[in-house]
Amino acid sequence: MAQVFGHVEVITGSMFCGKTEELIRRLRRATIAKQKVMVFKPVIDDRYAFNKVTSHSGADYEAIPINHSSEIYDLLTDDVNVVGIDEAQFFDDGIVDVAQILADKGLRVIVTGLDTDFRGEPFACMPEMIVKADKVDKLEAICICCGEPATRTQRLVNGSPANYNDPVVIVGAAEMYEARCRHCHEVPGKGGK
């Protein structure tokens, strides 16, 4: 039998750049190749469907919602070749080790997550996940203000940019977030502004 080499792929970028859409595309291709796929998502992400990862455009794929990264070990079946992990920034920091251990066991691990929070700062475990990955794809959205490539996530509160001191984690979609370029991204209160 041929030796199997696992690896970690990370799909990252701002909101609305197509991270989950790309995850779903890769998972479907793996399924076509007759590989066994399991997908995990954080329970906190209940925006579209509880037991599916769903892109903003409506594409979806069956997923298992979990509270803690260690649950993956208990739920993973022996015949799995590919593991999808959506919205990794919402998991505990142990998700990085989980991805590494699964890859070391020969699995293909595909992880999505926001690289920065609404303040434009590194988001939770994602910097470490990106550094330890074998492959990283950083996608861009389109800036809602000027149409340029967007790499930032703008949080809005009553139509205005959220303050730097607002809570970092608030799950939402188009009703409270926009994709913006560096120039159009605003964070009142950041750096004394």
**Per-domain boundaries in the chain:** 7-139
Token pair 């730097």: residue? 164
Listed residue (135, 136, 127, 156) closest to 144, CA to CA: 156
Whose structure tokens read 């209160």?
189
pLDDT at residue 89, rounded to an integer: 96
What pTM was estimated for this model as a whole?
Answer: 0.90
Homologous superfamily, domain 7-139: P-loop containing nucleotide triphosphate hydrolases (3.40.50.300)
- The pLDDT tens digits for 3-30 are 568 999 999 999 999 999 999 999 999 9
- What is the C-alpha separation between 139 and 127, in angstroms, rounded? 15
Whether residue 55 has pLDDT greater than 80: no
The set of catalytic residues is 87
The DSSP-derived string for the chain is: -PPP--EEEEEEESTTSSHHHHHHHHHHHHHHTT--EEEEEETT--SS-TTEEE-TTS-EEE-EEESSTTHHHHH--TT--EEEE--GGGS-THHHHHHHHHHHTT-EEEEEEESB-TTSSB-TTHHHHHHH-SEEEEE-EE-TTT-SEE-EEEEEETTEEPPTTS-S-----TTTEEEE-TTT---TTGGG-
Single out the residue of 173, 39, 47 nearest to residue 107, CA to CA. Answer: 39
Q: What is the mean pLDDT of residues 101-105?
A: 97
- The token duo for 30 is 């793996």
What is the C-alpha separation between 18 and 92, in angstroms, rounded? Answer: 23
* pLDDT of 111 higher than 70: yes
Answer for the pair 19, 116: CB distance below 8 angstroms, yes or no. Answer: no
pLDDT digits (tens, 9 = 90+) for 168-183: 877 656 578 999 999 9
